[in-house]
Structure 1
Amino acid sequence: MFGDMSKMMSQLQDAQKNVEEAKKRLNNILVEGSSGGGLVNVTVTANKEVKKIDINEHVLEDKEAVEDYLILALNDALAKAEKINEQEMAQAAKNGMGLGF
């Protein structure tokens, strides 16, 4: 009984370690989102931290367009980052629990 509990605690610690390592890796995965046919481009990490915003100078004259394009580009990048984040975290947890394939 105690051997099973010890094994389970070890697996939980391994899972936690794998999740922490995955979080560090996700900081280095860059994801891009864009809108307006490339007029606004955003780069975020897979941990959803904004790293870069690039706005084409031609769109700067229209404040509302910039705002709309920026929102669309950010949402695009963040959705992609979320998908990668979920996949990495699920895999890290599986590997930590000895369920990795």
Structure 2
Amino acid sequence: MSSRSGGSFGGGAPNMQQLMKQAQKMQQQLAVAQAELAETEVTGSAGGGLVSATVTGSGELKSIVISPSVVDPDDVDTLQDLVVAAIRDANRVASELAEEKMAPLGGANLGIPGL
């Protein structure tokens, strides 16, 4: 004997049409947030500002600025390290911005299993 009564969804089942509307609205909000991130530029730096990198909120590298005072042909390794550090710093700032923008939407996975 089955202990279920009524249809397969039982009482209090979510309205599928309402769920679809909510999912569509969340998709639109996500698209807007992603577009805003792609247009927003953030800057990271290294070496006390001797090297700076600008990336979009979605992580696209836009520019590198290097102070002439850090350019030493006999010490290219330091300059390379500073460039990498500046890009990492810019990506960290972009990641924080993305988390901030996506938090109202439920974070990266939107709270939906499988996404």
TM-score range, shorter chain: 0.7 to 0.9
1:70 corresponding residue in structure 2: 83
Deviation digits for residues 39-61 of structure 1 (CA, Å, limit 9, x no counterpart): 10011111111111001112121
TM-score by length of 2: 0.74
Question: Between Structure 1 and Structure 2, whose CA radius of gyration is higher?
Answer: 2
Pairwise CA distance, 1:2:
8.4
For 1:72, the aligned partner's letter is A
2:104 corresponding residue in structure 1: 91
Q: Which has the higher contact order (CA 8 A, sep 6+)?
A: 1
SS in 2 for 1:27: helix
**Residue segments in structure 1 that go unaligned for 5+ positions in a row:** none
> Greater helix percent: which structure?
1
**Match of residue 18, structure 1, among 23, 29, 53:** 29
How many correspondences in the alignment? Answer: 95
**Residue segments in structure 2 that go unaligned for 5+ positions in a row:** 1-11, 111-115
Q: CA RMSD in A?
A: 2.0
**What percent of counterpart residues are identical?**
34
For 1:58, the aligned partner's letter is S
